[in-house]
């Protein structure tokens, strides 16, 4: 069965600094990979997704993610964070075998002034 | 703007008192989902509809029911809320029936408090 691990529960980054949020998955075939963001008290919004092709995916709000099959990872990056990026970020994995979407536990991003 | 709307945003109920949460969408999507999200946890899928076809997750308690009277509206009924049902309830939609690949569009959620 597929699974998703987000190793960091919280990450604190200074405003203007770069960001990388980790996501590791377990699945035998090529997965469908997603990053969603949840601002405080709000629903989730899709940042980006990867199905196939170029392993570097561009998303909204200046985010990008890179699929690395050898590491079973799909890490989210942003070169310079803004205070408005403070939110919780969820990685999710979909599989062909069962039409399910499996969610990671989330990483809470805290921005220091 | 096309969107997913949830009402109310905050709901307080008493232990054992039935409660209904509502979701409406203007996206004209075929699929609607209900998730339960507890603090600092991932969303947990309770059930989803493809059009009028209801799909219940295996571990969703019987205490939770859902209705979808038309394409635009979907309701979550909690028949006898317990303290453990206090959570954020998220409604989401997607265009087609591929939960593993489709982008899901979420409402802002309803935060349920059980006293």
Whole-number pLDDT of residue A107: 97
Q: What does the pLDDT read at residue B40? A: 82
Of B75, B83, B82, B17, nearest to B46 (Cα)? B75
CA dihedral B90, B96, B101, B107 (to 10 degrees): -20
Q: Chain B: nearest CA to A99, how far in angstroms?
A: 5
Does the distance separating the beta carbons of B92 and A101 come in below 8 Å?
A: no
Is the CB of A106 less than 8 angstroms away from the CB of B107? Answer: no
Q: Which of A1, A33, A43 to mutate to test the interface with B (most CBs of B within 10 A)?
A: A43
For the cut 80, the answer to whether the pLDDT of residue A30 exceeds it is no
pLDDT 10s digits, A57-88: 999 999 999 999 999 999 999 999 999 999 99
Residue A89: count of CB within 10 angstroms of its CB: 24
- Of all residues in chain B, the one with the smallest CA distance to A105 is B42
Nearest by Cα to B76 from B95, B96, B99, B60: B60
The whole-number pLDDT of residue A97 equals: 67
Residue A99 has pLDDT above 80, yes or no: no
Cβ within 8 Å, pair B101-A94: yes
Q: Residue A101: what pLDDT?
A: 86
CB nearest A105 (choices: B42, B105, B111): B42
The beta-strand segments (E) located in chain A are 3-5, 10-14, 19-21, 24-26, 32-38, 44-50, 56-58, 64-68, 73-78, 87-94, 101-103, 107-112
Q: Answer whether residue A98 shows pLDDT above 80.
A: no
Percent of chain B whose pLDDT exceeds 90: 78
pLDDT in tens, B56-113: 888 999 999 999 999 999 999 999 999 999 999 999 999 887 777 888 999 999 999 9
CB neighbour list of residue A65: distance below 8 Å, 6 or more residues apart = A33, A35, A47, A48, A50, A56, A57, A59, A74, A75, A76, A77
CB contact B32 to A (< 8 Å) = no
Q: How far apart are CA A33 and CA B103, in angstroms?
A: 11
Closest residue in chain A to residue B88, using alpha carbons only:
A41
Is the pLDDT at A112 greater than 90? The verdict is yes
Q: Indicate the length of chain B as a whole number.
A: 115
Option in A90, A101, A104 nearest B100 (CB)? A101
- Do β-strands B31-37 and B19-25 pair in parallel, antiparallel, or remain unpaired? unpaired
Tell me the chain B residues in contact with residue A9 when contact means C-beta distances shorter than 8 Å. Answer: 40
| Inter-chain residue contact B101 with A106, CB threshold 8 Å | no
- What is the nearest CA distance from A51 to chain B, expressed in angstroms? 8
Nearest chain B residue to A38, by CA = B108
């Amino acid at each position: 069965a597929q699974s998703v691990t987000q190793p960091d529960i919280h990450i604190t980054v200074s405003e203007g600094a770069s960001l990388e949020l980790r996501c590791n998955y377990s699945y035998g075939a090529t997965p469908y990979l997603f990053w969603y963001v949840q601002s405080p008290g709000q629903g989730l919004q899709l940042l980006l997704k990867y199905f196939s092709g170029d392993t570097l995916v561009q998303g909204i709000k200046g985010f990008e993610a890179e699929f690395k099959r050898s590491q079973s990872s799909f890490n989210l990056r942003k070169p310079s964070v803004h205070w408005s990026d403070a939110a919780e970020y969820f990685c999710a994995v979909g599989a062909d075998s069962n039409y399910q979407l499996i969610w990671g536990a989330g990483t809470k991003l805290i921005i220091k002034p | 703007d096309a969107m997913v709307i949830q009402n109310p945003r905050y709901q307080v109920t008493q232990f054992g008192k039935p409660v209904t949460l509502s979701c409406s969408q203007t996206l004209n999507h075929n699929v609607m989902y209900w998730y339960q999200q507890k603090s600092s946890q991932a969303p947990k899928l309770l059930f989803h509809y493809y059009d009028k076809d209801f799909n219940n997750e295996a571990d969703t308690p019987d205490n939770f029911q859902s209705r979808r009277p038309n394409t635009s509206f979907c309701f979550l009924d909690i028949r006898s809320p317990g303290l453990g049902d206090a959570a954020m309830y998220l409604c989401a939609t997607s265009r087609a029936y591929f939960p593993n690949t489709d982008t899901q569009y979420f409402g802002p959620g309803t935060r349920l408090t059980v006293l």
